[in-house]
Amino acid sequence: MYFEHFGLALAPFSIAPDPAFAYPSRAQQEAHAALLQAIGGGDGFVKITGDVGTGKTLACRRLLAALAGQPDCDAVYVQNPCLTPRSLLLAIGVELKLPLRANTSEHRLLTLLDRALLKASAAGRRIVVCLDEAQAMPADAFEVLRRLAARDRDGRAVLQTVLFGQPELDDKLARSDLRPLASRITAQYRLGPLSARETEAYLAHRLRVAGRAADASALFPTAVAALVHRYTRGVPRIVNIVAHKALLLACRDRAAVVGPQHVRDAAADTPHARPATALSRLVAWWQHGRMRHGTPA
C-alpha cells in the first residue's frame, strides 16, 4: 500500500461511511441542520434523498451520533428496510428493549409499541426511527409506520421517523397507496454532490484525518483535484475510489504528488467515473435547489 510512501496512518479513501472522516460540505451541513430542526420541532416524518454515494448513510450516522448525546431521546437505527411489517415492528421493539418474544403477533407488537410510545411521550422522551435505504421498504411496512406515527401528544408526534433513500423513494411515495404517509412528510432535503472547491478541500481533509501531517492539500494539487471533480462529478463515493486508485498509481511511479495522468488512469478503471454533461449539471442544480426549498422534485 501507499501509507508509508505518503506518510499516512489510515486508509484515507475507504468507501465505508465513517463519521471520523466526515467533511463538512454545504450539503451535509444543511441536511444535518434540517434534520435537527425537524426532530426538535416534533415533525413526524422527515425525508433525506440522494443518489448512490452522495453521503446518505453518513448523514444518518451523524444524526444518530447527535441524538445519542440528547438524554431525552431514544434513537432506533434500521439498516435493512427489506422487512415484513412484523419484522420491522420487532426490530424497533428490540431496540427499545421491550419485553418481546420471537413469536409475538403483529397485533400484539403494535399494541406494545403504541403503549411504549405514549408512555415515553408522557415522560417527555422522544423516539426517533432512522431507516436507511428506505426506497427498498415494502409498502405494507410503510403503512405500519404510518399507523404508529398517527398518534400525537400536545401537537407532537409520539414517533418520529427519518427516511434516508435514493431518488426512487420519491417515486414510491408518489403511489396512491402511500400518499397518506407521503402527506405527513413535513421536512425533506436532497443531498447533492460536492462542488469543485469542496472536492479539493474534501481530498485534503481526508488525508489529514488519515495522518498526513503536513501539506495534505499539496498531494492533490489544485489542477489535479479539479480533474478528480471533473471525472467523479463530485460524488463522494466515486471521489474516494478514484483518489485511492490515483494514490496507488502515484506510489507505483514513486511520485511525490498525484499527477493528472494518475487521475485519468484511475478514472478509466472506475465504473461511473466520467465527466458530467452540461445537461446533467443543469438537472442536478435544479433538483438540489427545489429540494432545499422544500419542494419535491
What pLDDT digit, counting tens, does each position of 126-171 carry?
999 999 999 999 999 999 999 888 877 666 788 999 999 999 999 9
Average pLDDT, integer, range 110-129: 92
| Whether residue 177 is found in the same domain as residue 208 | no
| Whether residue 32 is found in the same domain as residue 56 | yes
Of 131, 164, 191, which one is at a domain's C-terminal end? 191
Residue 293 lies in a domain: no
In this predicted model, what pLDDT tens digit does every residue of 205-246 receive, in sequence order?
999 999 998 888 899 999 999 999 999 999 999 999 999 999
Domain count, the chain: 2
Residue 156 lies in a domain: yes
Tell me which of 52-61, 76-85, 168-177, 240-249 is least confident: 76-85
Residue 285 has pLDDT above 80, yes or no: no
| Whether residue 129 is found in the same domain as residue 178 | yes
Residue 115 lies in a domain: yes
Residue 153 lies in a domain: yes
| Whether residue 239 is found in the same domain as residue 141 | no
| Whether residue 146 is found in the same domain as residue 263 | no
Please report the pLDDT score of residue 290 as a whole number: 46
N-term to C-term CA, the chain? 43
Please report the pLDDT score of residue 297 as a whole number: 37
| Whether residue 256 is found in the same domain as residue 210 | yes
Please report the pLDDT score of residue 295 as a whole number: 44
Please report the pLDDT score of residue 154 as a whole number: 67
CA torsion through residues 47, 49, 54, 57, sign: positive
Please report the pLDDT score of residue 188 as a whole number: 94
Q: Any idea what the CATH number is for the domain that residue 180 is in?
A: 3.40.50.300
Q: Any idea what the CATH number is for the domain that residue 216 is in?
A: 1.10.8
User: How far is the C-alpha of 71 from the C-alpha of 7, rounded, in Å?
Assistant: 40
| Whether residue 178 is found in the same domain as residue 213 | no
Backbone φ and ψ of 185, nearest 5°: -75, 115
| Whether residue 175 is found in the same domain as residue 70 | yes
Please report the pLDDT score of residue 93 as a whole number: 93
Please report the pLDDT score of residue 104 as a whole number: 86
This prediction's pTM: 0.86
Residue 5 lies in a domain: no
User: How far is the C-alpha of 141 from the C-alpha of 107, rounded, in Å?
Assistant: 14
Domain span including residue 213 = 194-268
In the chain, the percentage of residues whose pLDDT exceeds 90 is: 75
Residue 49 lies in a domain: yes
pLDDT bracket for residue 101 (50, 70, 90): confident
| Whether residue 87 is found in the same domain as residue 154 | yes
Average pLDDT, integer, range 42-48: 94
Residue 290 lies in a domain: no
Backbone φ and ψ of 126, nearest 5°: -110, 140
- The candidate with the shortest Cα–Cα distance to 167, out of 288, 37, 40, 24, is 288
Write out the DSSP string of 265-284: HHHHTSTT--PPPHHHHHHH
| Whether residue 108 is found in the same domain as residue 41 | yes
